[in-house]
Structure 1
Amino acid sequence: MARQFDLHRLRLLRELKHRGTITAVAAAMSYSHSAVSQQLTVLETELGAQLLEPDGRRVRLTAQGEILVRHVEAVLEQLDRADADLARAAGDVAGRFRIATFQTVVLALMPSVLTALRAAHPRLGVELEHADPDAALSGLQVKEFDLVVDEVFAGQPFARSAAVDQTVLHRDPLRLAVPPDSPLADAGRVSDLAGADWVMEPAGSPAREWADRICQAAGFRPNVRFESPDMLIHERLVRGGHAVAFLPDLLWVETSPTVRLRPLPDNGYRDIVCSVRAGTSEHPSVRAVTTALLAACAEAAIAITTQLAAQPE
């Protein structure tokens, strides 16, 4: 006999897969903890399969639960494609659209993107959140966001989930940054700074993994005296003569460099990546936002070239 699948309960199981706890699912869905637990129990009863098992004080999906979620993902992707087709047929770019991204993109690209979208698509209500990329990608898959702009550093894996479509918007060079008025100002290579104090992003982050790898390739382990995810803090510490750093070109969209910059080898870059749920790439709203992002990246590249050309040798 064919099983009957309740899409609402299947969504709860998928939410649990991505959010990790029933408490987190309940908060996100505005349900009580007991209501979510009850619905998942009903789902197990309806399907005649154990979908969850204890994992300490939490629960995790069984092998059967994982299989079921993979099929749920496929169904939801197809529904997203249907929504995109309907929106294209209507020919309108409207409604709520949620974007998550990180600091330098917020500062360097998003003002231009928001201005362009407001002029071209006034009925599109764009919401922007400054968010941790990994958390944002998880939120993308459970529809907290419609688009995430992330960063992928040279040598790091690209696609993080088959449920996500990714497109490179811009290749952002990273450069060695040294204080302008110090003995370090003449340093031309990473190896010249083996004994310097560094400011880097926190340990465990993709940016830190990349930076550590660059220094190891130059033959040393960096003396990291300052840690922060904020690139403006990095720039300020370098400018003040307290540290050296790796800084991205996107910092210089609207201002000339205030530190001495040196090029890095071929792996000295990060890709700015647009991520959307699989099945939504052709949605009119997604296409409108992606187009605005690409235009902003092109404008930023021209501005950065101008700012760097004015830097003294």
Structure 2
Amino acid sequence: MIDLRRLQVLRVLREEGTVTATARALYLTPSAVSQQLRLLSKEIGVDLLLPEGRRVRLTPAAHIVLEHADAIAAEWERTRADLAAHSGGAVGQIRVTGFASSFGSLLAPAAARIGESHPRLAVHLSDADIDDSLRLLLAERADIAVLPVPGTPPLDDPRFDQRLLLDDPQDLVVSAAHPFAERDSVRLADTAHETWIAPHHDQFQLIEVACAAAGFAPRVAHEAAEWNSVLALVAHGLGICLLPRLATTAPEHGVVRIPLRDDPAPSRSVLTCVRRGSRAEPAIAAVLQALEDVAQDRQRG
């Protein structure tokens, strides 16, 4: 009988590349990871790793094992879902990761709804980037990840079940003193001669693609990773930016949001991502439903 936990260690090693990084992702010591891999190799009866400097390389046999490991993991998740439905339904704790701008508009309202509708189910929220969210899912230290596109793994990735939650349109943000501030809407092409603030990598990728479709490349004057920093630069007239509608603004930010009337208008998709096979687990399904209800309310509103 193969220990599924050891297969999980091998799956994480495939992503992380080193024993040390795998240990960090799984909250184990490097020696414990090495021991689990040695025991798995003994159970299966083949060599799984080849030393390569400070790293290790997976053998051809290990890749064959991993092809089956993803299917085994998905089937085990479905088994756990059936057992949970049999034994009591939506109880316990569900751990949800999300990107920063999803908290106020999606994650927090969904967690509040769960508190009212499922008092025996606790939702733990944590802020994590895409790569960390996927690592946490694989290490079974998160159950649901809310992810923006671009940046997610392919939709046919055998490890994950990813589904569209909502489309998140982009608005132009300018300072209150900017000539565009009085407009009801604007075309992206109208901003071709403006100075831009470059936000974090995934968002700036979206901006570059949208501006290219409008016929120009954005001229970047400043860079800032956090939205509060971006909005401070915009408020002081140092540039403009596109802001996802999920990202909230307040009067004290000193900026004006202007809808774009391009057809199609720039937008990003937001997905829910779970380990393949786990979506039907009652507690996970309840939280996913709460997220979908909040998303639908936003789109109707």
Q: Does structure 2 conserve the Cα–Cα contact (< 8 Å) formed by 1:18 and 1:142?
A: no
Superposed CA RMSD in Å reads 2.7
Provide the C-alpha distance between the structure 2 equivalents of 1:241 and 1:94, rounded to a whole number of angstroms. Answer: 50
Correspondence for 1:273: 271
Correspondence for 2:9: 12
Aligned counterparts, 1:1-313, within 5 A: 5-153=2-150, 159=155, 161-185=157-181, 188-202=186-200, 205-252=201-248, 258-263=255-260, 264-266=262-264, 268-303=266-301
Tell which deviates more after alignment, 39-48 or 125-134.
Answer: 39-48
Q: 1:71 to 1:244 in 2, by over 3 A?
A: same
**Pairwise CA distance, 1:161:** 1.9
Percentage of identical aligned residues: 34
* Structure 2 portions without partners, runs of 5+: none
Q: Does structure 2 conserve the Cα–Cα contact (< 8 Å) formed by 1:235 and 1:247?
A: no
Tell which deviates more after alignment, 177-186 or 123-132.
Answer: 177-186
Provide the C-alpha distance between the structure 2 equivalents of 1:228 and 1:141, rounded to a whole number of angstroms. Answer: 30
Provide the C-alpha distance between the structure 2 equivalents of 1:235 and 1:67, rounded to a whole number of angstroms. Answer: 49
Provide the C-alpha distance between the structure 2 equivalents of 1:135 and 1:277, rounded to a whole number of angstroms. Answer: 14
Correspondence for 1:308: none
Provide the C-alpha distance between the structure 2 equivalents of 1:269 and 1:6, rounded to a whole number of angstroms. Answer: 44
Provide the C-alpha distance between the structure 2 equivalents of 1:302 and 1:27, rounded to a whole number of angstroms. Answer: 42
SS of residue in 2 equivalent to 1:246: strand
Correspondence for 1:306: none
TM-score (norm 1): 0.84
Q: 1:233 to 1:90 in 2, by over 3 A?
A: same
Q: Deviations over 1:158-209 (max 9, x none)?
A: 516222111211111112223332235469332332232211223xx33222
Corresponding letter in the other structure for 1:300: R
Provide the C-alpha distance between the structure 1 equivalents of 2:33 and 2:107, rounded to a whole number of angstroms. Answer: 37
Q: 1:135 to 1:291 in 2, by over 3 A?
A: same
SS of residue in 2 equivalent to 1:259: strand
Corresponding letter in the other structure for 1:167: R
SS of residue in 1 equivalent to 2:246: helix
SS of residue in 2 equivalent to 1:109: helix
* Structure 1 portions without partners, runs of 5+: 304-313
**Pairwise CA distance, 1:135:** 1.9
SS of residue in 2 equivalent to 1:127: strand
Tell which deviates more after alignment, 26-35 or 166-175.
Answer: 26-35
Provide the C-alpha distance between the structure 1 equivalents of 2:130 and 2:91, rounded to a whole number of angstroms. Answer: 26
Q: Does structure 2 conserve the Cα–Cα contact (< 8 Å) formed by 1:172 and 1:248?
A: yes
Provide the C-alpha distance between the structure 1 equivalents of 2:257 and 2:109, rounded to a whole number of angstroms. Answer: 27
Q: Does structure 1 conserve the Cα–Cα contact (< 8 Å) formed by 2:234 and 2:255?
A: no
Provide the C-alpha distance between the structure 2 equivalents of 1:215 and 1:64, rounded to a whole number of angstroms. Answer: 47
Q: 1:167 to 1:253 in 2, by over 3 A?
A: farther
Q: Deviations over 1:5-49 (max 9, x none)?
A: 343432321231233321133345454323322332343344343
Q: Does structure 1 conserve the Cα–Cα contact (< 8 Å) formed by 2:114 and 2:287?
A: yes
TM-score (norm 2): 0.87
Provide the C-alpha distance between the structure 1 equivalents of 2:48 and 2:9, rounded to a whole number of angstroms. Answer: 12
Q: 1:56 to 1:288 in 2, by over 3 A?
A: same
**Pairwise CA distance, 1:84:** 0.5
Correspondence for 1:309: none
Provide the C-alpha distance between the structure 1 equivalents of 2:216 and 2:273, rounded to a whole number of angstroms. Answer: 35
